[in-house]
Amino acid sequence: MRILLIEDERELIKALTTYLQSEGYIVISAPTIKQADYEIKTAEYDCILLDLMLPDGNGLTMIPVIQKEQANCGIIVITAKNSLADKVTGLDEGADDYISKPFHLNELSSRIKSVLRRRNYGGKNEIVFNEIKIDTRKHTVTVADLELEITKKEYDILLFFIANINRTITKEQIVEHIWSDDSSCFDNFDFIYTHIRNLRRKITALGGNDYIESVYGIGYKMSVK
């Protein structure tokens, strides 16, 4: 999978590139609109991460170009936090999703996977992780073909974990993933423990393996055993 990262901050490019490469993506970066324009017209990408504040203009202007040159490509717009106008415009213009800076790498990973699923898998909406199968259209989960009864929050958490296999996910990241803008109401994220515990119990109750483990009290990790 090829990702084009349109972003001008060098350190951020380095961090994102390292992270996404470790996820198995091929990452190309373009720090200006001009360069991005060149890249879009000369190579194919599966997903484009588009920062709106670029040195030579507003990233929104690139959306029509991307839609024309790369019809199958997913677009995720990176906006400054609290810019409601940006979010709405970005989606109106045709972006698939938006993410607010500063974002968690795991959150980004989850969004990219989500966009790719929607764009590329057409009718196929199934995610498989060993005995756990998720139907992303119906929002149902089966463990060894047995229906798993879970709440919406637990479903979102499970999907987040699967999008970030083998990665440590902090409690804060989980809370921000589920509560997004409302997450700043919480001073402390320990309450997430209950959700995780319930999720693990439900999976193991149906005979599934306990893939989720706690990491030094910081967070959790779902890993292949």
Partner 1 sequence: MKLKTKIISSLIITITIVFSLTATLLFFGLKKTFNSESEQKLRAMYLNVLSQKENIQPISLPPAIFVKDTTANLQKPTINKILLQVETENELEEFAVMKGVESINGKHYLIDVKISLVENEDLLATVFIASLIGIILLSLLSLILASKLYDKIMSPFNESIKFLNTFSFKQPAIPSFQETDIAEFKHLQDSIQLFTERILEDLTHLQDFNDMFNHELQTPIAIIQSKLELMMNDGGLNQHLMSLIESSLQSLSRLKSTNKSILMLSRLRQGKSFESTQIDIIPIINTIVSNYEEILSVQNINISTSLKATYFINGNEQLVNVLLSNLLSNAIKYNTFQEIIQITLSDNELQIINSGPILDPMTSAKIFDPFVKSSFNSEGAGLGLAIVKAICNTLNYNISYKYEFEKHIFTLQFFNEYSSRLL
Helix (H) / strand (E) element for 53: namely strand 53-54
Minimal distance, residue 216 CB to partner 1, in Å = 5
Alpha-carbon span 132 to 144, nearest angstrom: 6
- Our CB check for partner 1 shows the closer of 142 and 198 to be 198
Number of residues that bind partner 1 (CB under 8 A): 41
Q: Which of 106, 112, 143, 202 binds partner 1 (CB under 8 A)?
A: 106
Minimal distance, residue 126 CB to partner 1, in Å = 27
Convert residues 193-222 into a mask of x (bound to partner 1 by CB under 8 A) and - (unbound): -xx-------------------xxxxx---
Q: Which of 2, 101, 118, 119 binds partner 1 (CB under 8 A)?
A: 101
Q: Which of 73, 116, 192, 212 binds partner 1 (CB under 8 A)?
A: 192
Q: What one-character-per-residue DSSP string does 94-124 give?
A: T-SEEEEES--HHHHHHHHHHHHHHHHSTT-
- Residue 18 binds partner 1, judged by CB under 8 A: yes
Cα Rg for the chain, rounded, in angstroms?
18
- Residue 84 binds partner 1, judged by CB under 8 A: yes
Evaluate whether 76 touches 112 at the Cβ level (below 8 Å).
Answer: yes
Among residues 224, 104, 203, 120, the alpha carbon closest in space to that of 160 is found at 104
Sort strands 146-148 and 140-143 into parallel, antiparallel or unpaired. Answer: antiparallel
Alpha-carbon span 212 to 169, nearest angstrom: 11
Alpha-carbon span 151 to 4, nearest angstrom: 35
CA distances from 73 to 4, 29, 208 (A): 10, 16, 35
- Our CB check for partner 1 shows the closer of 9 and 149 to be 9
Q: Which of 58, 72, 82, 130 binds partner 1 (CB under 8 A)?
A: 82
- Residue 21 binds partner 1, judged by CB under 8 A: no
Q: Which of 145, 187, 224, 225 binds partner 1 (CB under 8 A)?
A: 187
Binding site for partner 1 (CB under 8 A): 9, 11-12, 15-16, 18-19, 22, 53, 80-84, 101-106, 167-168, 170, 172, 179, 182, 184-188, 190-192, 194-195, 215-219
